[in-house]
């Protein structure tokens, strides 16, 4: 007799079907039914115990006292928040040691299965071991078959579903020959169909995730899915042969035939299941998030979309498929005095990130700027066999040159934005690739300014000031008083002056609240798509020192750059900083082409006259524009491949060298 089977039962029909299979085969079983997940009346006639989802220790105890040797995980589980989960001691220890709760579904289940087998001695089996008849076979089950014209949609659907699975987001899509109409998310296939408009047409394609753990979470289709597909006007359903489950197959076929739908089990296209690398990317602030988003897009392009991502990022990286381990805003801190109060929280986030990386074993870790956080993570990962790459070389030419030697001890490769940076690190033995400044590919240009002015009713003679106090809350709070005073002086000197500002996620509330209290009307630009058009529309800009200085150069917006840090940070920095300028344009040109007002000079009585000079003196404004062009050429503008493509190629070269034993 086969060993007693334990069934961890979630929602849906699958757990009950497995119980029936055991009864028919004469195999003893015991069910741990998850409260709030499993069907309430499904196991009345079978030995079972009800356990809440977070009480994993009790579930394991029940399995052991009831003599379970083999275990199957069956049915859907709605993933709760960590608060609603209320993990017991067993679950708390598991989540803390694996970081599994922050992962996608497949990664979490893989970690859980490994833990149950190694720590609890339970052999976890899959549907193929217990009820192989539920697996979809190759072939058409219905009277209607896919037509020749449907094959393009089916292939496109398989590729899209596999790519969705690589990101651990879902397993199903609705496809036509020309587009992917809908993608499954964590709510499931039926929820995707319910949200689909009637009469959309198309074909539902459901497939295994590449390298999926087949002992859990196999894609499943049941009668309810067929009914929804018919209601939405789909032509049919394709599931991956040998990799998907059909529940109540006979009823499904009857429904499909009644509605003239097809059900077909087909193999996935060749190559769609290739195991592909995962890269962990870590960005800690909006400018790094923007770099990360473009880098992810370039990596997808370089690998024909055969790549996965994990890590930490914001909206730009999430738009490329990243599920951030935690909010990126947790890391958006700058300055010595600013970091000190946040050290305990940052330490927890560092530990959380390291645990995730150790568990996931990505092909590489790429830290994007944010050295205070990323270097601490890299130090703890050194020697673990994972290539450690950093994107944005520290400005050792500006201050603390000894950092080059220190980071060479734990990094494997560095990506530099400026052409003069590699020698500083290569002499310390750290391979460094100059890729150019990624902001050069942001799409900013002077051309969009005319349309922006027209949309906002700005006349050709009207003066426009763009005020940009920074993307971090700390810097914005420090700069706003001087910026507001500067605006007031200019508004008095230039009647009718139009003032705009652009908000980033960390500063949106702060700037919105401040704008409501200013004596001079200020228009907030909240749509990221409008940002560069707003820059281009401005006659002058007052901006915090940072990446925005290069963006203003690309829109040819004459500017004044300012910065003010905490007094403690400023006092320490005066002994450490080795360059004459704060603005990157001035640094690249090695001359004061753009006015700077730093620390004690960040005062309205100094900044207002400099801005007024740019507004009143066209020759002065044109000189800045000429300097912008010179600096951008020095930074790699017009050099063939764009910076993110060069960065992606360098990262993939490091990964390939490691795989081939050269790294």
Say yes or no: 220 and 160 in one domain.
yes
241-265 burial: b if 16+ Cβ within 10 Å, else e: bbbbbbbbbeebbebbeebebbbbb
> Using CA atoms, how far apart are residues 358 and 107, in angstroms rounded to an integer?
13
Specify the number of domains making up the chain: 4
Is 195 part of a structural domain of the chain? Answer: yes
Per-block mean pLDDT, blocks of 10 residues, the chain (663 long): 90 88 91 91 89 93 94 85 82 77 66 88 89 89 94 91 78 91 87 83 90 79 92 94 88 95 92 78 90 94 87 92 86 54 78 87 92 93 92 83 92 93 95 89 86 91 91 82 92 93 77 77 86 94 89 94 68 52 84 90 94 95 94 81 92 87 55
Is 12 part of a structural domain of the chain? Answer: yes
Q: Which of 53, 55, 100 is nearest to 78 (CA)?
A: 53
Say yes or no: 104 and 157 in one domain.
no
Q: What are residue 174's DSSP bridge partners?
A: 182, 204
Say yes or no: 515 and 386 in one domain.
no
**pTM confidence score:** 0.54
**What pLDDT does residue 300 have?**
92
Say yes or no: 602 and 469 in one domain.
yes
Say yes or no: 309 and 386 in one domain.
yes
Say yes or no: 430 and 520 in one domain.
no
**What pLDDT does residue 67 have?**
94
**What pLDDT does residue 520 have?**
82
**What pLDDT does residue 99 have?**
61
Say yes or no: 359 and 381 in one domain.
yes
Say yes or no: 167 and 302 in one domain.
no
**Domain boundary pick from 415, 436, 457:** 436
**What pLDDT does residue 206 have?**
95
CA atoms within 13 A on the CB side of 581: 18
CA angle in degrees (0–180, nearest 5) for 389-393-397: 150
Instruction: Report DSSP letters for 542-602, one per residue.
Output: EEESSTHHHHHHHTT--EEEEE---HHHHHHHHHHB--S-SSHHHHHHTS--S-EEEGGG-
**What pLDDT does residue 334 have?**
46
**What pLDDT does residue 267 have?**
92
**What pLDDT does residue 342 have?**
65
Say yes or no: 450 and 590 in one domain.
yes
**What pLDDT does residue 465 have?**
95
Say yes or no: 330 and 420 in one domain.
yes
Task: Give me the domain span that covers residue 314.
Answer: 278-436
Q: How does DSSP classify residue 448?
A: G
**What pLDDT does residue 104 have?**
58
Is 119 part of a structural domain of the chain? Answer: yes
Is 228 part of a structural domain of the chain? Answer: yes
Is 315 part of a structural domain of the chain? Answer: yes
CATH number at residue 141: 3.40.140.80
CA atoms within 13 A on the CB side of 38: 26
């Amino acid at each position: 007799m086969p060993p007693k089977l334990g069934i961890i039962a979630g929602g849906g029909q699958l757990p009950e079907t497995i119980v029936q299979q055991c009864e028919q085969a004469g195999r003893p079983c015991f069910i741990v039914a998850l409260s709030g997940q499993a069907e309430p009346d499904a196991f009345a006639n079978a030995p079972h115990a009800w356990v809440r989802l977070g009480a994993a220790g009790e579930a394991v105890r029940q399995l052991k006292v009831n003599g379970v040797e083999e275990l199957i995980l069956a049915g859907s589980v709605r993933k709760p928040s960590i608060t609603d989960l209320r993990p017991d001691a067993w679950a708390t220890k598991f989540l803390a040691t694996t970081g599994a709760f922050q992962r996608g579904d497949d990664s979490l289940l893989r970690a859980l299965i490994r833990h149950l087998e190694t720590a609890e001695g339970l052999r976890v089996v899959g549907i193929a071991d217990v009820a192989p008849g539920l697996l979809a076979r190759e072939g058409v089950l219905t009277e209607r078959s896919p037509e020749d014209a449907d094959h393009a949609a089916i292939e496109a659907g398989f590729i899209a579903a596999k790519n969705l699975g690589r990101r651990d987001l879902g397993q199903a899509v609705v496809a036509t020959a020309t587009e992917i109409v809908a993608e499954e998310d964590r709510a499931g296939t039926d929820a995707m169909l319910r949200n689909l408009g009637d009469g959309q047409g198309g074909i539902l394609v459901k497939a295994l995730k590449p390298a999926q753990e087949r002992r859990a979470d196999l894609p499943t289709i049941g009668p309810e899915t067929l009914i929804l597909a018919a209601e939405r006007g789909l032509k049919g359903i394709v599931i991956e042969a040998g990799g998907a489950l059909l529940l109540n197959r006979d009823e499904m076929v009857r429904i499909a035939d009644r509605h003239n739908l097809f059900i077909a089990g087909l193999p996935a296209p060749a190559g769609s299941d290739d195991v592909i690398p995962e890269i962990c990317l870590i960005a800690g602030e909006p400018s790094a998030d923007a770099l990360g988003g473009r880098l992810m897009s370039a990596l997808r392009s370089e690998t024909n979309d055969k790549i996965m991502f994990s890590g930490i990022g914001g909206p730009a990286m999430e738009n490329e498929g990243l599920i951030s381990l935690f909010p990126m805003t947790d890391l958006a801190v700058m300055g010595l005095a600013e970091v000190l109060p946040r050290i305990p929280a940052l330490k927890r986030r560092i530990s959380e990130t390291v645990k995730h990386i150790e568990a996931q074993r990505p092909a590489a870790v790429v830290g994007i700027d944010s050295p205070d956080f990323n270097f601490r993570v890299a130090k703890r990962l050194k020697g673990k066999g994972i290539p450690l790459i950093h994107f944005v070389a520290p400005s050792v030419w500006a201050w603390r040159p000894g950092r080059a030697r220190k980071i060479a001890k734990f990094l494997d490769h560095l990506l530099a934005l400026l052409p003069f940076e590699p020698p500083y690190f290569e002499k310390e033995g750290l391979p460094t690739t100059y890729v150019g400044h990624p902001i050069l590919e942001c799409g900013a240009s002077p051309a969009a300014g005319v349309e922006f002015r027209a949309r906002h009713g700005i006349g050709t003679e009207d003066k426009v000031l763009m005020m940009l106090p920074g993307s971090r809350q700390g810097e914005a709070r420090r700069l706003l008083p001087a910026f507001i005073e500067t605006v007031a002086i200019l508004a008095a000197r230039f009647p009718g002056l139009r003032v705009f500002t652009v908000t980033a996620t960390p500063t949106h509330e702060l700037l919105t609240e401040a704008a409501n209290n200013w004596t001079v009307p200020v228009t907030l630009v909240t749509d990221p798509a409008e940002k560069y058009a707003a820059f281009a529309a401005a006659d002058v800009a007052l901006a915090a020192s940072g990446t925005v200085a290069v963006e203003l150069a690309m829109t040819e917006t004459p500017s004044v750059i300012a910065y003010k840090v905490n007094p403690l940070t400023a006092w320490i920095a005066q002994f450490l900083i080795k360059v004459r300028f704060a603005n990157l344009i001035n640094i690249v040109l090695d001359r004061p082409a753009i006015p700077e007002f730093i620390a004690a000079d960040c005062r309205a009585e100094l900044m207002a006259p400099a801005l007024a000079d740019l507004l009143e003196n066209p020759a002065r404004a044109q000189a800045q524009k000429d300097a912008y062009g010179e600096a951008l050429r020095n930074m790699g503008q017009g050099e063939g491949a764009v910076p993110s493509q060069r960065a992606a190629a360098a990262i993939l070269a490091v990964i390939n060298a490691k795989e081939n034993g050269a790294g």
